[in-house]
């Protein structure tokens, strides 16, 4: 017998379990399984693409030894990048918008990153926005690499190479629907592409939020700035069109309200014992909204992005929930 251990923390990324959802989906005719990504070492799906983006940048010389990794992140990509940076010997500067939870900022600092906080309520091309600030820091910082997860093709590729094949194998090829929140678009596009190559009949549904442009753009081809307004839900929806969102792979979007996303985040914990992040609440509510699309033999896989520990001050804080008008 040989000893079994991972050579470093990065070798524990991937091969996350599929877990059946029981109570919240009891009114659906089908089997609903969650791809439970919090089992990754950084507690989120983003560990996969963070490592892939770094490895690809090392391979083609964009990221050089002793370099500084710079990225705008809502927290989870930063965590994945930071873990890889620690093992591989890079510095990190992360730019985060002020709507993200304090826990996310504290966690990034805990793993040695420098954190720069920017205002949420500014246009994407405003010099104060987190897109603009991260780009500028990338230009100003010597020996640095600006990741740009939104347009970096390694993001979707990571899910095409790992998450998609895992789901196909774990469902024995029986998956009929894949449902996931859409932010950068890497997960839905990479997984969706892989699944449709195995079986073109697999339906791929994106979860969007009110205040985001995705659903209308997918249905009409119109980028409508009137759709854009600030929203509370974290990690999904955008006020830009990232290159990683491959709209041709997506069969449709359903939008979930901030309130429903928050309430269902609590319900996942209380009814299923699944202590998850805000986007998981949005995702399971989205599955329920898609009820009429499912038949008795269907196998629906919904991906849960991140962990409840990032939201203890918000969705898991009843004072906050009452202040927002989400709890009576």
What are the chain's domains? 9-39+163-321 (3.40.50.1100), 46-146 (3.40.50.1100)
Q: What is the DSSP code string of 136-200?
A: HHHHHSTTEEE--TTT-HHHHHHIIIIIHHHHHHHTTT---EEEEE-SSSHHHHHHHHHHHHH-T
Lay out the sheet containing 177-181: strands in order across: 18-20, 31-36, 299-304, 177-181, 203-209, 252-256
C-alpha to C-alpha distance for 10 and 81, rounded to whole angstroms:
10
The pLDDT score that the predictor gives to residue 73 is 84
199-252 pLDDT per residue, tens: 999 999 999 999 999 999 999 999 999 999 989 999 899 999 999 999 999 999
Coil, helix or strand at residue 19:
strand
- Predicted local distance difference test score (pLDDT) of residue 124: 82
**Per-block mean pLDDT, blocks of 10 residues, the chain (328 long):** 96 98 98 98 97 98 97 89 97 90 88 93 88 91 96 98 98 98 97 98 98 97 94 92 97 98 98 98 98 98 96 95 95
CB-based contact 278:261 (threshold 8 Å): yes
- Tens of pLDDT along 112-136? 999 999 998 888 889 999 889 988 9
Catalytic site residue from 35, 46, 215, 314: 46
pLDDT attached to residue 207: 98
SS3 208: strand
Tell me if residue 295 is catalytic. Answer: no
| pLDDT score recorded for residue 99 | 80
DSSP strands (E only) in 73-130: 91-97, 114-118
Note the pLDDT of residue 32: 98
216 conformational bin, left if phi > 0, alpha if psi -120 to 50, beta if neither: alpha
pLDDT for res 74? 75
| Confidence at residue 103, expressed as pLDDT on a 0 to 100 scale | 83
Q: Which of 235, 324, 238 is nearest to 277 (CA)?
A: 235
Contact 122, 61 (CB under 8 A): no
């Amino acid at each position: 017998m040989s000893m079994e251990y991972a050579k470093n923390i990065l070798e524990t990324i991937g091969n996350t379990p599929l877990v059946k959802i029981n109570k919240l989906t009891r009114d659906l005719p089908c089997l609903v399984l969650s791809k439970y990504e919090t089992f990754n070492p950084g507690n989120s799906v983003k560990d996969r693409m963070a490592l892939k983006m770094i490895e690809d940048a090392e391979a083609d010389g964009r990221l050089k030894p002793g370099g500084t990794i710079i990225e705008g992140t809502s927290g989870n990509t930063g965590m994945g990048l930071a873990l890889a940076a620690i093992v591989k010997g890079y510095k990190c500067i992360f730019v985060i918008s002020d709507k993200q939870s304090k826990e996310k900022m504290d966690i990034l600092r805990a793993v040695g990153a420098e954190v720069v906080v920017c205002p949420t309520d500014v246009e994407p091309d405003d010099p104060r926005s987190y897109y603009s600030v991260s780009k500028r820091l990338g230009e100003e910082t010597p020996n640095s690499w600006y990741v740009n997860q939104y347009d970096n093709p390694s993001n979707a590729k990571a899910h095409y190479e790992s998450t998609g094949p895992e789901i196909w194998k774990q469902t024995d090829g029986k998956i009929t629907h894949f449902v996931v929140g859409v932010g950068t678009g890497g997960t839905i596009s990479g997984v969706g592409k892989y699944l449709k190559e195995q079986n073109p009949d697999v339906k791929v549904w994106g979860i969007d939020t009110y205040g985001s442009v995705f659903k209308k753009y997918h249905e009409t081809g119109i980028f409508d700035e009137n759709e854009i307004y600030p929203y509370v839900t974290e990690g999904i929806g955008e006020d830009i069109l990232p290159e990683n969102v491959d709209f041709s792979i997506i069969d449709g979007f359903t939008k979930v309200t901030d309130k429903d996303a928050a309430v269902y985040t609590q319900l996942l914990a209380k009814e299923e014992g699944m202590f998850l992040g805000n986007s998981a609440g949005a995702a399971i509510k989205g599955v329920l909204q898609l009820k009429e699309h499912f038949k008795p033999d269907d196998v629906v896989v919904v991906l849960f992005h991140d962990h409840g520990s990032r939201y203890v001050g918000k969705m898991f804080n009843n004072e906050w929930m009452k202040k927002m008008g989400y709890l009576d």
